[in-house]
Structure 1
């Protein structure tokens, strides 16, 4: 029987942790920009246009949030 030994430690350099934080921040901003774009596009529609696609104006925020961030 073979045994595997994992020798990876949870220590990472300060630079790699900072890079990871920067990547997470950039990703969060990109998601937020996509949310705002989606929200603004839906909010710019008239009530009649929203009714045609089966959306109430009060649901625009939830729809934009679900579209970008998931359920």
Structure 2
């Protein structure tokens, strides 16, 4: 088992920390948008259309998560 340690310097200015928080927030918001749009589009399909894609209705949430988060969850 391996461990990774992330070290950062306390020398970051307040503005840099705020910018990093904002960048993180923007990235998370973009991923949530991809999740929501993928989920809504797949959920709008009929069962027959989903079957043509090789999916069942129970797979919609997992596919949307994979589309948005690249299997990071």
**Into which bin does the TM-score normalised by the smaller protein fall?**
0.7 to 0.9
Q: Which runs of 5+ in 1 are unaligned?
A: 1-8
CA distance in 2 between counterparts of 1:37 and 1:12 reads: 36
Cα deviation for residue 57 of structure 1 reads: 0.2
Moved over 2 A (4+): none
TM-score (norm 2): 0.82
Aligned length: 63
Indicate the residue corresponding to 2:4 in structure 1: none
Matched, 1:68 2:68: yes
Q: How does 1:1-71 map to 2 (within 5 A)?
A: 10=9, 11-71=11-71
Q: Which runs of 5+ in 2 are unaligned?
A: 1-7
Q: For 1:10-68, what per-residue CA distance to the aligned partner results, in whole angstroms no more than 9, with x for missing partners?
A: 11100000010011001101110111000000000000000011000010000010111
